[in-house]
Structure 1
Amino acid sequence: MARSHWGEIKDPVHGYVYITEEEKEIIDSFPVQRLRRLRQLAGAEYVYPGANHTRFEHSVGVMYLAGRVTENPNISEHLSHEEAQMVKIAALLHDVGHGPFSHVFEHLLIKELDKTHEDITSWIIQKGELKDILCKAGYKPEDVGRLAVGTLHKPKKTFLDQIISSAVDVDKLDFIVRDTYHTGAEYGYIDVFRLIHALDILNGNLAVDLGALSALESLIIARIESFKSIYFHRVGRAAQIMLAIAMEKANEELGLTQFKTPEEYLAMDDYTVWTMLKNCKKSSGIIADLERRRLLKCAYERTFYEKDAMVSNIFSRETYRNQLQTDIAKEAHVETEAVIIDVPTVPSVPYHHSVLMESMEIPVFFKTQGDKKIPQRLSDISKIFETLKGFINILRIYTDEENREKVSSAASKILGKIPSATKISY
């Protein structure tokens, strides 16, 4: 297919995004158009009314930024024209595997099918409608499907995966700026294009020139602040937890994880599943509460800075959290399911992988006068990273309004009272 210019999409974050005929055909496919019916931040609208943007505009933005990366002379000299175009297409398709309510559906996929949305993304790209479109355009769907989730692993070209999935990838460069724009919770200016211009290849990997250190530090600070104030906001999380519980209660009756084909999976979006949950007796009560903003209440919150065994277990082991839930419920004399333990590492937390599960060590280098690249350890150059890591060890205990005081007292007795210096006013 000729890669001729088709037109442009006006994006509120990046301005005009020019697309080709080939890209338009992929954009107009059902899997990509479905992203218009998946909100980027399901639950956040209960805190930030403007946070009703979708995965569609995010995906277009990621495609645009991927194109800007491949135009960087440091990168383009290592790419063929076909590879550069495939990176853009993979970036466009990187989120097609998200389920209804995006990350909230993730816990159901993992619990029932031992799958993530990345697994579903590759499956959807390699089967059905997208497979036919990609083959017609001269791509191998298997390669695009792997690259879209950062697992192409092309020999001597690891950086291809890292453009889409790494500590400084185009996905994060878009969603941090886009999410702060739509929520209004902006945390300083992030010079996205300075970072893109500073990208280079170091030993086959994507790396950042330390000339852009201030831009890199701004990005990391924005990631952490956005995580605390948007993705792990106590009220937004209350709504997300309620959606997750509703889907879990209704799954057996509704068969949300019983899909066999990409088409069956893609039939589910925020609209269709909300209606299904509303009409299902097992989940209708929760949806009724969400419709009236009767949300779960945070009875206890604590940020841990120490790195002891108890803290490690709370954040990494579900069995430990289940025991803690049982102990608090017993102490409070409430039903076990009335106590909900929430930590940043659970699958339903938006972007928990991107902030918590990856190495914070980003490849960086400086150039000598002779243009030789000298690798550096970022933690040796910038102490800001180690300082910020502690801010994400947040534990919350949720319950309903009726049991809030009892659960708060029980949690304080078992976990210790919160020092007044660490209390946050909401």
Structure 2
Amino acid sequence: MLIKQRAGEIKDPVHGYIYFNEVERRLIDSRPLQRLRRIKQLAGSELTYPGACHSRFLHSLGVMHLSGLMAERLIELGYIDLEGALKLRLAGLLHDVGHGPFSHVYEDVLYEKQGLTHEDLTAKVVKESELGDLLSDEGYSRDEVADLCTGRLRSPDGRFLNQVVAGRLSPDTMDYILRDSYFAGVGFGQVDVHRLIDSMDVVQGSVAVDYPGGLYVLEAFIIARLELFNAVYFHRTVRAANVMLSRAMSYADEYLGLTEVEDIERLLSMDDSTVKAEILNLEGGGRAKVAKELVLMFEERRLLKSTFEAVVYRGDDPLASQLRRAAVRRRLEEEIGEEADVDPDYVVIDVPSVLSVPVHPKDGAEVLMFRKTANGGREVMKVTDVSPLLSSLAKFTDVVRVYTLSEHREAVAEACRKVFGEGSLYKVSV
């Protein structure tokens, strides 16, 4: 138990009691952390899975808790001391303070408009808000904590610590698999993360899992993540809600400056409710009208309809990476709109921006394992070399969909067949 002097505890439905010390309490009670109560973890998913109303705040507490468990493992192995363990807990607690309204939906708009990620904003919030002052008051370097909680630490131990905080097997990933499956009500996320943590070690500067002892739990972990992506994150109706929010914020940005966050106050003033209110108060025509209409439709659950769907194997097909470029998608949306005689502002091509199976070597996502050798050494292996199951999943897929208003569904579907080619995306000229 890392928390010797408890300042309080919170009863969490996923992990049970989560204890925190006085420094953590002060951070938890700060404005940047409390704002996360008003940002849903799975924005839009609640329209399909009504229980999925949990917040980034609750997730952050869970990541702090699991970071502590992982830190205890690293202390046991002799890689860090108590002070390093407490820093890992702080990193877990603060890792999401840069999320904007509607979580990753906003991040897609932020990246398209400003070339920034939520990690960039997290570092900014930690350094420039009251969090930095609180950390300094307690003897912590705000710059070091900002680097650690975004996986950008440049110390001698930075490589494995960055993997602990932001790698494929991070407490962040562990918590969202457990938490999102719990609140969505699906049964895929019941993974023994304690066993997974106990199977980890640091080998040649990288986090790796023991083979063969940890293989079954690692397979279960990666498959649970895949099932969550298929059943929840990439669900057709969930993505309809996501693209409506994303497109509404993208259109409203030129009027409201939603991604103009040089001033940290602008970011801290935004949450799910305030941004919806700002968009609904827009006046005038053009894209302001479209943004307002999309939010109103979202509020009334009148969602865009999927008119076209195709599977692209990202491991082999360069087209998949082309479709992930906003400029390519917008050009195709205009072409589809013109063919269907529909305003292209109401045509949306959706390509997920996150890996569903994080084991593909071409994406730098290979998960490592190790086994002890007869001479007392340790041999490092790729999980896809020792797991036929995960190797078979390595050529993971992107699901490409086109959404539009229900009244334009047939016209847009026919236009998609002409633009993309009957039954295939390979005829798209990009």
Partner of 1:225: 227
Q: Which amino acid aligns with 1:413?
A: K
Structure 2 residue aligned with 1:397, among 395, 402, 415? 402
Partner of 2:214: 212
- Any conservation in 2 of the 1:69–1:75 contact (CA below 8 Å)? no
Map of 1:89 onto structure 2:
90
**Which residue number in structure 2 is paired with residue 288 of structure 1?**
296
Aligned to 2:51: 50
CA separation in 1, counterparts of 2:205 and 2:226?
A: 28
The answer on whether the counterparts of 2:384 and 2:391 sit within 8 Å (CA) in structure 1 is yes
Q: CA offset at residue 163 of structure 1?
A: 1.0
Counterparts of 1:221 and 1:362, CA distance in 2: 13
Contact 2:315/2:396, CA 8 A, preserved across alignment: no
Partner of 1:415: 420
> Separation in 2 of the partners of 1:25 and 1:63?
14
Note the alpha carbon deviations across 1:65-87, whole angstroms, 9 max, x for none: 01001111576511021111111
Q: State the alpha-carbon separation in 2 of the partners of residues 315 and 144 from structure 1.
A: 36
Q: Which one-letter code corresponds to 1:258 in the other structure?
A: E
Residues in 2 aligned to 1:340 and 1:138: alpha-carbon distance in whole angstroms? 49
| Larger mean Cα displacement after TM superposition, 8-17 or 227-236 | 227-236
Q: Secondary structure at the match of 2:7?
A: strand
Q: In the alignment, which residue of structure 1 is the partner of 2:174?
A: 173
CA displacement, residues 83-130 of structure 1 (integer Å, 9 cap, x when unaligned):
111111011000000001111111232233221110010011011201
Distance 2:158 2:151 in 1: 12
Counterparts of 1:51-90 in structure 2, within 5 Å, are 51-72=52-73, 76-90=77-91
CA distance in 1, matches of 2:256, 2:158: 43
Q: Pick from 290, 296, 310 the counterpart of residue 302 of structure 1.
A: 310
Name the amino acid aligned to 2:415: A
The answer as to 2:18 corresponding to 1:10 is no
1:366-377 to 2 correspondences below 5 Å: 366-368=371-373, 371-377=376-382
- Alignment partners' CA distance in 1, 2:280 and 2:51: 24
Match of 1:271 in 2: 273
**Other-structure match for 1:147:** 148
Any idea what the Cα deviations from partners look like across 1:159-200, whole Å, max 9, x if unmatched? 111111111111000001100110012226311111010110
Equivalent residue letter for 1:64:
H
Mapped to 2, the partners of 1:165 and 1:46 lie a distance apart of 29
In 2, the alpha carbon distance for the partners of 1:9 and 1:259 equals 32
Q: Deviations over 1:378-398 (max 9, x none)?
A: 111012233224443211011
Matched residues, percent identical? 42
Show CA shifts across 1:304-334 (max 9, x none): 2486656335434333323332332233232
Q: Do the aligned partners of residues 173 and 304 (structure 1) sit closer, same or farther apart at CA in structure 2, a change above 3 Å counting?
A: same
2:310–2:399 Cα contact (<8 Å) kept: yes
Unaligned 5+ residue runs, structure 2?
A: 425-430
Q: 1:31 matched to which residue of 2?
A: 32
Structure 1 position 354, deviation (Å): 6.8
Q: CA offsets, 1:178-223, max 9 Å, x none?
A: 0011001222631111101011010121111121101101111111
Counterpart for residue 331 of structure 2: 323
Structure 1 stretch 313-322 or stretch 236-245: which is displaced more? 313-322
C-alpha distance in 2, partners of 1:276/1:354?
37
Q: 1:306 to 1:291 in 2, by over 3 A?
A: closer
Q: Which residue of 2 aligns with 1:360?
A: 365
Whether contact under 8 Å (1:303, 1:393) holds in the other structure is yes
State the match for 1:115 in structure 2. 116
CA distance in 1 between counterparts of 2:68 and 2:27 reads 16
Distance in 2 of aligned mates of 1:145 and 1:256: 23
- In the aligned structure 2, how far is the partner of 1:119 from the partner of 1:31? 15
Q: For this pair of structures, how many residues does the alignment match? A: 414
**What TM-score does the superposition give when structure 2 sets the normalisation length?**
0.90
Please state whether the residue corresponding to 2:365 is helix, strand or coil: coil
| Structure 2 contact 33–57 (Cα < 8 Å) conserved | yes
| Contact 1:224/1:388 (<8 A) preserved | no
Is residue 222–residue 357 contact of structure 2 (8 Å, CA) maintained in 1? Answer: no
Sort the Cα spacing of 1:204 and 1:408 in 2 relative to 1 into closer, same or farther, 3 A. same
Unaligned ranges ≥5, structure 1: 420-426
CA distance in 2, matches of 1:219, 1:151: 25
**How many angstroms apart in 2 are the aligned matches of 1:194 and 1:143?**
30
Deviation at 1:340, TM superposition (A): 1.1
Q: CA distance change for structure 1 residues 361 and 258 in 2, over 3 Å: closer, same or farther?
A: closer
Q: 2:88 is aligned with what amino acid?
A: V
Q: Aligned pair in 2 of structure 1 residues 142, 404: CA closer, same or farther (>3 Å)?
A: same
